[in-house]
Structure formats: structure tokens, C-alpha cells
DNA sequence: CGAAAATTTGACATGACTCAACTGGAGTGG
DNA sequence: CCACTCCAGTTGAGTCATGTCAAATTTTCG
């Protein structure tokens, strides 16, 4: 079941069976039921999580009680409040499961241990962070320069398989509109480009 | 003049003088005059740039000709269209100098060479990417959940020294409002929190 | 000093939000 | 298998935040 993680790592660095074994030994498997909260605002994030099944989301709740989704994480994705993870201070984000899900968790200190013992893992996580960075830059552009309709189309182009599974209101909370407004948008003629 | 770069690297990894020397040998110093364009949409980005003086900006131009700023880079910051750098495909962003500036440039292949020769540099760039990632996550939250006035105050809190130097319209293009609207906002009573 | 760029201001337009009511499944318990 | 509830989604009327355009004014910098 953790092959998906190992496979992903091996796409970037070569692993001996000893390294692979040690790497996997640092993870704990965990199941999360739909709607269960994994990380709560105010907590110090101790774990990074790799999704092996289901879908999770990373989001904030603003002062008016509205949710805003920073990231979806289907199988094969990492998820975590990186600000809290790095600073080891209480975070302001939530993580919960949109569907029944299964994840592999690794403790922050164990990642550091991993780097110390096998520095080659720095490479994997560097590449991971750089790719995520590129994605966030693209999203920042989209948020700044496009109206809601195009942000929606953009999202559909980028994550076609996600759009199927997600309740519409989550898509709204990701692209930054109210569920009502998204609904109205979709009922109108959508010039598909 | 490149001490600022070396110092920053040394905050994260230890360097022998040989490593330091090799590292620096990969960079080319370059001056850019105010308003001069360093990177143009449609180009494949070959260089990553570290700013040692002045201020640069990374931005896109939308179909209506409006500029949207992704990032400012004062001295001590890295700047580059990471999407194009990683993919080695033509980018859709611009980089130019807001003031007369000076940068150190390193070629993508030379970074890879550096990783091969001294893998410890993976660590420095991993940390760099992770910190940038955290900043982009925070910005995504701010964009999604806050109205323009708070995004402005947020920006002022985060980059107080920048706000001084920047023409107001650049701040507007960063927080995602028109220059006219920002001007109106500022002329009204700003409850400072 | 003079031209060009940045900022301000005002009238008006509109995209997106609010609130509230209604519809239609999906899941649950009897 | 029905009845009930509970969300998600829809729809509409009214409002608000922000944008547009254009002109006037100030600042910047060559």
C-alpha cells in the first residue's frame, strides 16, 4: 500500500533496499473517516502526511466562519500546514478528510533524522517543494488576473478528475467565490474558452 | 559584494573554503537599470537570480494589458520564474528592475552541476523552497479570505521596508486591486486593525 | 525646467456577495 | 420500504465592494 510513496521517491532518487526500508519505517499508517478533522487551528503541526487513498483538504476558517481551501490532496499528494511545520508554532489551518481516506504520517523530527542519516532525501523533498512552489505561483497569477469564471475553468483544466468527486461548494471555496455565486455561474452559458 | 549570498547559505549549511569558492564561481554579476526587463514572456528561463542590490519584480501581464505582481525581490532574495526554470519551457512571466539593481545569476545546468559535485547544496535550496512555499500558502489564504483593505495592511505588516520604496501602483498590482481603488482606500479613515 | 509618470478624484457600471426561501437527493432509523 | 432529516444546490431581490473611464493634479526624473 505504501508502494505509491516509494515509487514517487524513486522517480527522483535511487534507493537501496536498506534506505527504502528505513524510510518506510518512519511512517505510520492512519485511516480518517469522511469529515474527520486531522489537524485543527491552534495546534502545532507535528506530522507531514502522504495520502494513499481518498481526498483531504487544507483550509482556513475566517472570522465570519467561512472556509477557504488552500489545497486538495488526493492519493499521491503530500499535505500539511507547512508554516506550522517549519516554525513549530501553532498553525491557523485545518485539515480534514473529504472522503474516507488513508494516509502515511511522518514526524518532523523523523524527517530531520532521515536527512541526517541519508542526505539524498534532501533531494526528493527539494524537488517536491520546488514543484509545489511553481504550482502556487501559477495559482497566485490566476487569482490576481482572472475573473471567477476563468478561475473555475482553470481549475477544471488543472484537476479534471478532482472536479468529478468534489461537492461544488468545495470548488467554490478553492477558487474564492461563494457557493451561490458558483451555482449561478454554472447555470449560465459557459463559453468554454 | 557576494558576501550576502554566502552568508545566507552559511546560515543553513557549513561550507569549506573550497566549496564556497566553487559555488561563487558559478555566478555572474549583472547590473540592471531601473525599468529594464531581465526576463520576458515567451522566453525559456535559463537563470536563477539572487539580488544583491536594488529591487526586482516578477509579474504577469494579462490579456487586457494589466500587470499583476507575483513577487518583489529586494537585496537578499532570489527571483525567477520557477515554472519555466523547472520545465525549461517558455514562461509567461516578466522580471524587471524597479530600481537600479545588481544581481548574481546562475545557470540552471550549473545548479545541477553544483548538486552533483556538492550534494549538501540540495539542503540549502530545499530550505529556501520550503520557506517560499510557506509564504505562498499564507498569501493564498490572505487572497481568499480577506478584503482589499486587510490585504493591504497585511502587506504593510509583512514588508514594512518595501512599502516605503514602492510606488503605490505596484502595491496595488501585488494585492490585487486597481491603483485607483487603492488610492481611494488610503484616503479614507484606515482603522489600523 | 519640462515631459512623462504617478496619484487623486468623481460619476457611473458591474461582478460578486448576502440573505432567505425553495428543491431535491442521500443517508438513516423505524 | 417509507418517512424524515439534513445537506447541497438553486434561485431571486437587493446590496456592496471594487472596477472603469476620464479629467485634474502632483510628483518624479531626465
pLDDT digits 0-9 by tens, B9-35: 999 999 999 999 999 999 999 999 999
pLDDT for the residue B192: 42
Mode of pairing for the β-strands spanning B28-32 and B101-107: antiparallel
pLDDT band for B132, please (50, 70, 90 cuts). very high
A140-143, Cβ contacts within 8 angstroms, sequence gap of 24 or more? A140/B70, A140/B136, A140/B139, A140/B140, A140/B143, A141/B60, A141/B68, A141/B70, A141/B92, A141/B93, A143/A176, A143/B140, A143/B143, A143/B144, A143/B176
- How close does chain B come to A52, measured CA to CA in Å? 22
Question: Sign of the CA dihedral A141, A68, A62, A95?
Answer: negative
Q: Is the CB of A186 under 7 A from strand D?
A: yes
Q: Please name the residue of chain B whose CA is at the shortest distance from the CA of residue A176.
A: B144
Nearest to A136 among B92, B136, B145 (CB): B136
Are A98 and A104 a contacting pair, CB within 8 Å? no
In the structure, how far is the CA atom of residue A104 from the C1' atom of nucleotide C1, in angstroms?
70
SS3 for B3? helix
pLDDT digits 0-9 by tens, A89-143: 999 999 999 999 999 999 999 999 999 999 999 999 999 999 999 999 999 999 9
Q: What's this model's pTM, rounded to 2 decimal places?
A: 0.94
Q: DSSP labels for B90-125?
A: B-S-EEEESSSEEEEEEEHHHHHHHHHH-THHHHHH
pLDDT band for B189, please (50, 70, 90 cuts). low
- How close does chain B come to A59, measured CA to CA in Å? 8
**Residues, chain A:** 193
Question: Which of B80, B122, B151 to probe by mutation at the A interface, max A CB count within 10 Å?
Answer: B122
pLDDT band for A192, please (50, 70, 90 cuts). very low
pLDDT digits 0-9 by tens, A135-152: 999 999 999 999 999 999
Number of CB pairs < 8 Å for A and B?
110
Are the Cβ atoms of B144 and A68 closer than 8 angstroms? yes
> Which residues numbered 141-170 in chain A sit less than 7 A from strand D, measured from CB?
167-169
How far apart CA B2 and CA B51 sit, in angstroms, is: 10
B42 phi and psi angles, rounded to 5 deg? 95, -15
Domains and CATH numbers, chain B: 3-118 (2.60.120.10)
How far apart CA B98 and CA B36 sit, in angstroms, is: 8
pLDDT for the residue A193: 36
The mean pLDDT value for B139-148 works out to: 96
Q: Per the structure block, which three cell numbers stand in for B182?
A: 487603492
The mean pLDDT value for A56-82 works out to: 96
Q: Is the CB of B167 under 7 A from strand C?
A: yes
pLDDT for the residue B190: 58
The answer on pLDDT for B191 being more than 60 is no
Are B23 and B15 a contacting pair, CB within 8 Å? yes
Q: Per the structure block, which three cell numbers stand in for B10?
A: 552559511
The mean pLDDT value for A30-42 works out to: 93
- How close does chain A come to B37, measured CA to CA in Å? 19
A37-41, Cβ contacts within 8 angstroms, sequence gap of 24 or more? A37/A94, A37/A95, A37/A96, A38/A95, A38/A96, A38/A97, A38/A103, A39/A80, A39/A81, A39/A91, A39/A93, A39/A94, A39/A95, A40/A94, A41/A90, A41/A91, A41/A92, A41/A93, A41/A94
Are the Cβ atoms of A68 and B145 closer than 8 angstroms? yes
The mean pLDDT value for B175-181 works out to: 97
Find where cell 502556487 sits. A136
Amino acid at each position: 500500500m505504501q508502494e505509491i510513496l516509494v515509487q514517487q521517491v524513486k522517480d527522483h532518487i535511487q534507493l537501496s533496499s536498506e534506505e527504502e526500508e528505513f524510510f518506510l519505517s518512519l511512517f505510520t499508517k492512519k485511516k480518517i473517516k469522511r469529515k474527520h478533522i486531522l489537524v485543527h487551528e491552534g495546534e502545532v503541526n507535528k506530522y507531514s502526511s502522504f495520502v494513499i487513498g481518498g481526498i483531504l483538504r487544507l483550509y482556513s476558517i475566517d472570522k465570519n466562519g467561512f472556509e477557504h481551501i488552500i489545497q486538495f490532496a488526493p492519493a499521491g499528494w503530500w499535505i500539511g500546514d507547512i508554516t506550522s511545520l517549519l516554525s513549530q508554532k501553532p498553525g491557523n489551518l485545518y485539515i480534514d478528510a473529504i472522503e474516507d481516506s488513508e494516509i502515511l504520517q511522518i514526524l518532523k523530527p523523523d524527517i530531520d533524522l532521515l536527512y541526517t542519516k541519508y542526505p539524498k532525501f534532501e533531494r526528493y523533498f527539494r524537488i517536491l517543494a520546488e514543484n509545489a512552489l511553481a504550482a502556487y505561483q501559477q495559482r497566485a497569477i490566476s487569482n490576481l488576473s482572472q475573473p471567477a469564471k476563468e478561475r473555475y475553468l482553470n481549475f477544471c483544466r488543472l484537476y479534471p478528475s478532482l472536479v468529478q468527486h468534489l461537492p461544488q461548494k468545495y470548488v467554490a471555496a478553492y477558487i474564492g467565490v461563494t457557493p451561490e455565486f458558483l451555482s449561478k455561474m454554472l447555470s449560465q452559458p459557459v463559453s468554454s474558452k
